[in-house]
Amino acid sequence: MSKPWPKLLKKVLRQISIYLLSIIIVVLTVYAAVNIAQNKYIKPVDINNTKLIDVEIPKGSSLSKISQILYENGLIRSKTAFKLYVDLSNKTSKLRAGKYQLSQDMDLGRIMDELLSGSAAIDTVKITIIEGWDIRKIAKYLVKDMELNFSEKDFIEAAKVENFADFPFLQDIPEERKKNEVGNAPIEGYLFPDTYLVYEDATPQDIMRKMLSQFEKVYNESALERAIELDMTMDEVVTLASVIQREARINEEFTMISAVFHNRLDKDMLLGSCATVQFLLNEDRWKLTEEEMNIDSPYNTYINKGLPVGPIASPGRLALASAVNPYEEYMEGENPYLYFVLKDPKTGEHIFNTDYNQHLKDKEEYEDTWDD
């Protein structure tokens, strides 16, 4: 009787061979699939293209949003592949917002690493625009103090309505200002004063877009509804607010000064604001000469009734709110408040009057201190 071992051994070897062959086939299939995926989705879009592309990842962007931005800029082959790559790395929450310079010769791994480390991000600069600055002072500050990469002339010339078609409210600016026939810049007054983070390579339009967005938000919150009640246009509100901003020094007096100006406008009187002449002179002087107060300009409220032809500065939130919420007690009765004069140049305190003769007496008493 023959032994069964040779047959059993053959059977076992055959099963092992089939098993090993199956493993080899699976490995080769997986390898081929990975290789195809690598070539189709993970490898760089163009290994020979090293040209840097500016890409901005906004703060709070989801992984889907980041993938969309990278895909639209031609930096990745597949949005899904990038999302899977980052998800499998368990680093979704660590991607950093910022402005990056990336290129098509980067694969998914390198792009992800750049977004994790921020090493390719362009540095930001904190700028603070002061309430009451006009566009000339804003431009000087950005160029001289913050050393941004454009000239004062570049900044002022960029402040045109046509450069910001995505802000419909600018279309209500009067045509003579839109055409830059008067004033320093068509959108003077609409560049909201605040603190902003901007990129080191920001253009004038980049910065203005941030300021206009903030202006729209603040105006809608603080002035829009009341302006409609008063039947005032946005441009009238901004113009009046800019004058209040330049005249007021103490927060409590913003609405009082607003009341005086509303009263004078209602009575068809000259507004008589020194701030409008200071705007023309581009000087901050308390005392003005008779000749200066008679400068022929639609901004001069000593010779032209009504509001100046446009804003003379960038008003802040308080000035915008005060322009449509004048101090009611100063507007009541037969003798509303029509005058104010600077009492203390150090504190910015004013004296308010209903009587012109008393106003003249106060002016005579305190104007000698203005030189201080």
Which band of pLDDT confidence, cut at 50, 70 and 90, is reported for residue 39?
low
Distance (Å, rounded) from C-alpha 85 to C-alpha 96?
16
pLDDT of residue 112: 87
Is residue 284's pLDDT more than 90?
no
Residue 77: count of CB within 10 angstroms of its CB:
18
Q: Is residue 113 domain-shared with residue 130, that is, in the same domain?
A: no
Q: Does residue 3 lie within any of the structural domains? A: no
pLDDT digits (tens, 9 = 90+) for 322-348: 999 999 999 988 899 999 999 988 899
- DSSP code at position 171: G
Residue 11: the pLDDT is: 67
What order of strands is seen across the sheet that includes strand 53-57?
53-57, 98-102, 121-122
C-alpha span between 348 and 337 (Å, rounded): 19
Position 221 scores a pLDDT of 95
- Of 92, 122, 152, the position where a domain reaches its end is 122
Q: What is the DSSP letter of 73?
A: T
pLDDT of residue 81: 86
Instruction: With respect to residue 142, please indicate whether it lies within any of the assigned structural domains.
Output: yes
Domain span at 140 = 125-220
Render pLDDT for 133-178 as a digit per residue (tens, 0 to 9). 999 999 999 999 999 999 999 999 999 999 999 999 999 999 999 9
DSSP conformation letters of 130-155: PTT--HHHHHHIIIIIS--SS-HHHH
pLDDT in tens, 237-280: 999 999 999 999 999 999 999 999 999 999 999 999 999 999 99
Other CB atoms within 10 A of residue 68 CB? 15
Q: Is residue 129 part of a domain?
A: yes
Residue 255 falls inside a structural domain = yes
Q: Is the pLDDT of residue 37 over 60?
A: no
| Residue 123: per-residue pLDDT | 79
Tell me whether residue 257 is in a domain. yes
pLDDT for 339 equals 96
What the block records as the tokens of 170 is: 């600018």
* Residue 36 clears pLDDT 80, i.e. is over it: no
Asked if 211 and 280 sit in the same domain, the reply is: no
For residue 183, the tally of other CB atoms under 10 A from its CB is 23
Lowest mean pLDDT among 105-119, 120-134, 220-234: 105-119
**What is residue 122's three-state secondary structure?**
strand
Judgement on whether residues 106 and 157 belong to the same structural domain of the protein: no
Q: Would you state the pLDDT for residue 161?
A: 96
Look up the CATH number of the domain holding residue 116.
3.30.1490.480
- Residue 135 and residue 250 in one domain: no
pLDDT at residue 370, rounded to an integer: 79
Is the pLDDT assigned to residue 33 strictly greater than 50?
no
Q: What is the pLDDT of residue 17?
A: 62
149 and 251 in a single domain? The answer is no
Determine how many CB atoms are found less than 10 A away from the CB of residue 57.
18
Query: How many CA atoms are closer than 13 Å to the CA of 237, on its beta-carbon side?
Result: 32
Residues 354-364 have pLDDT tens digits of 999 999 999 98
State whether 248 and 308 are in the same domain.
yes
Looking at residue 123, the DSSP 8-state letter turns out to be P
What local confidence, expressed as pLDDT, does residue 25 receive?
Answer: 59
Total domain count, the chain:
3
* 294-321: average pLDDT: 97
Residues 238 and 108 in one domain: no
Residues 88 and 173 in one domain: no
Which one is predicted more confidently, 143 or 16?
A: 143
* Domain stops at, among 106, 122, 138: 122
Mean pLDDT of 217-244: 97
Residue pointed to by tokens 């409590």? 252
pTM: 0.77
